[in-house]
Amino acid sequence: MNKNNKPKISTLLYFVKPYPKYIAGMFLLIMASAVFEGANVAVLFGLLTAVLTPASASVDATALPGVFYRVIDMIPIGNKIIAVSCLMILITIIKNALVFLRQIFTYKAGYRIWYDVQKKMFEKYINADYQYFLDHKQGEMIFRAYSAPSTMGGVLQYAGEAFALVAQLVAVGVILVSISVQTSLVVFLFGGVFYMSTNFIAKKISYNLGRKRTEACETQNMLLAELIGGIKQIKVFLSEKRWSREYVKAMKDYFHLAMKDRVWHEVPLNTVEIFAIVMLCGMIVVFKSLNPGAFLGQLSLLGTFAYAFYRFMPSLKKIGSLRIGILGNLPIVEVLHAVVSEETRKIQDGAREIDSFKDKVVFENVNFTYPNRIKTIENMNFEIEKGKVTAIVGGSGAGKSTIINLLLRIFQLDNGAIKIDGINLDEIKLSSWLKNVGYVSQETFIFNDTIENNIVFGRPFDAGRVREVARLSNAHEFIETQPNRYETVVGERGLKLSGGQRQRLAIARAIYGNPQILILDEATSALDNVSEAKVREAIKRVSSGHTVILIAHRLSTVLHADKILVLDHGKVVGQGKHEELKKGNEIYARLYGKEESVVEPVIG
């Protein structure tokens, strides 16, 4: 967001530049309707003059009203009053038709830009690297992708409407000057004072209130996202009051700021009419006092200016209101501009396609460091052979999950190389590589849809394959007990299922695409003993015929692995089979000894 507390109207131009056709169309319609608005005033002056001025009076043919007199003379109607009335009706019809078209065009442009910006925000998020999501708050991101674009669309509509009103006022002002320069100066003086007052309110008050409102709205979204995501823990730890207190405070801040802005929003609407009436009455008194004899002859002039005031006042009110509204919501536009225009890091995709995994995965002097942290992985070297079960063990923070993240290219390594069958992973097309990989994480993502759609996960649907992988993953039995079997909707984040059931669905999802490599990242660590046994049985069943990479939380799950890699502080400090490491590797022996010493409590 703009940190210098000064509004940047130029940020609006960033969003409208890609739409020159919309801009040109709006401009033409705005100018055309403004011309007819001015013509309406000029013809009214002609009508009043025809009614109130003696026939012998002359009109300056070089002035704009004189031009309209010549047009009136061309109308094949003998009665001048009827001719002028017909012309005025025609101009009013054309003007309102143009205004209608301009409004439709403005709304269409606003909605189109809103749609495109919201789409651009979503694409930015979905194409960003994983680190981007670690660096930003969930509620803040939801607000910026969903709520903010709608506000920006409204701001663009406000801007179009304000420009149209200014153009109309300019057109009417030109006509008034051509009728009477002195009287017009009084009107322009009034307009100038009004502009300066609304400009002060908009820049100094509404814009700053808008910044604070945006921050309060983002805070509400963030707290709501935390509440929904952590509702179980919030209830268990009796923390409802804390979240309620914080959310209510954010709401109060937002509504207090919104109300304050609304009050200032109404100031120009409720003061302009008072000043306008005072000025109009003053003009009549001055005209009458200075030249009482010619007062009746000036009625057409006064009537025209009175009508102009009638047209001016709603426009002035609306311009002031729109300007305050634009600057009040401009901070949201600035936030969107900052997000859309910033460079987002992406994992650079490779170009080489691979059909399958044939031999081995090799880590060669791999180094990696998370932002603002000490080195996580240092000079790491090891191999993962095709058709074998490779387990990775180590204490918390040793780098186990980081290896998987690098293998899945969620993060880009600092230096070194990961090679797949001798090809640098950076050179391989990511989609080509990931088709060969199935992944099961500790925290399974289940979305609010049917069981079968959670297994398919957006890939081509095959009902037979869904049931096949469900049986392999030990999920078919519990699925058949659900109200609608495979068509059962499991609730947001799968809350209608147990942890073990969610994990078995994740295994079914991982093998649905028939991958050659199966990665299990602490897939049983969060489960109770009964659920773990069922998931472990499912893992054993699906491991057959796959290359398996197993991140182990409990060493009892790696006893029969073909190779065990032992990590400590980002380095491989040992590798081999269980019996070898138990006898010859101090760190592994210590980890295994700790697990053996754990005594399960007996509940009587």
Q: Is 87 exposed, middle or buried (0-12, 13-18, 19+ CB in 10 A)?
A: buried
User: Cα dihedral sign for 274, 279, 280, 284?
Assistant: positive
Written as one string, the DSSP assignment of 536-564 is HHHHHHHHTTSEEEEE-SSGGGSTT-SEE
If you average pLDDT over every residue of the chain, what do you get? 75
Q: Is 90 exposed, middle or buried (0-12, 13-18, 19+ CB in 10 A)?
A: middle
pLDDT, tens digit, 9 for 90 and up, residues 312-364: 666 766 776 677 777 777 777 887 888 887 777 777 888 888 888 888 899 99
Q: Which range among 14-18, 28-32, 109-113, 230-234 shows the weakest confidence by mean pLDDT?
A: 230-234
pLDDT at 469: 86
Q: Which long-range contacts (CB under 8 A, 24 or more apart) does 483-487 make?
A: 484/450, 485/451, 486/450, 486/451, 486/452, 487/450, 487/451, 487/452
pLDDT at 600: 43
pLDDT, average across residues 567-593: 84
pLDDT at 363: 92
Residue 51 pLDDT > 60: no
pLDDT, tens digit, 9 for 90 and up, residues 361-388: 999 999 988 877 777 888 889 999 988 8
pLDDT, average across residues 585-591: 81
Residue 586 pLDDT > 60: yes
193, two tokens: 């004072």
pLDDT, average across residues 197-226: 70
Query: Which positions ≥6 away from 286 have C-beta within 8 Å?
Result: none
pLDDT, average across residues 592-597: 60
First to last CA, the chain: 60
Partners of 104 in beta bridges: none
246, two tokens: 């914080």
Residue 603 pLDDT > 50: no
Residue 475 pLDDT > 80: yes
Cα distances (Å, whole numbers) of residue 575 to 29, 381, 426, 567: 76, 11, 26, 9
pLDDT at 288: 60
pLDDT at 202: 61
pLDDT at 57: 43
pLDDT, tens digit, 9 for 90 and up, residues 391-403: 888 887 888 888 8
Residue 52 pLDDT > 70: no
pLDDT at 70: 64
pLDDT, average across residues 593-598: 55
pLDDT at 362: 92
pLDDT, average across residues 223-243: 65
Residue 465 pLDDT > 70: yes
Domains by residue range for the chain, with CATH: 10-341 (1.20.1560.10), 360-597 (3.40.50.300)
Distance CA 134, CA 142 (A): 14
pLDDT at 482: 87
pLDDT at 323: 73
Name the more confident of 391 and 176.
391
Nearest by Cα to 19 from 112, 157, 98, 99: 112
pLDDT at 9: 66
- pTM for the predicted model, two decimal places: 0.66
What SS3 class is residue 519? strand
Residue 55 pLDDT > 50: no
pLDDT at 399: 84
Helix axis angle for 148-179 and 181-200, nearest 10°, is 160
Spell 497-535 as b/e; 16+ CB within 10 A means b: bebbbbbbbbbbbbbbbebbbbbbbbbbebbeeebbebb
- E-only strand ranges, 200-346: none
pLDDT, tens digit, 9 for 90 and up, residues 89-129: 888 888 888 888 888 888 888 888 888 888 888 878 777 77
- How many CA atoms within 13 Å lie on the side-chain side of 365? 2
Residue 573 pLDDT > 50: yes
pLDDT at 290: 57
Partners of 362 in beta bridges: 383, 419
pLDDT at 336: 82
Amino acid at residue number 112:
R
Give a three-class secondary structure readout of 45-82. HHHHHHHHCCCCCCCCCCCHHHHHHHHHHHCCCCCHHH
Q: 382 with 565: CB under 8 angstroms?
A: yes
Distance CA 112, CA 101 (A): 16
Name the more confident of 342 and 533.
342
pLDDT, tens digit, 9 for 90 and up, residues 258-310: 777 767 666 665 666 666 666 666 666 665 665 555 544 555 566 666 666 66
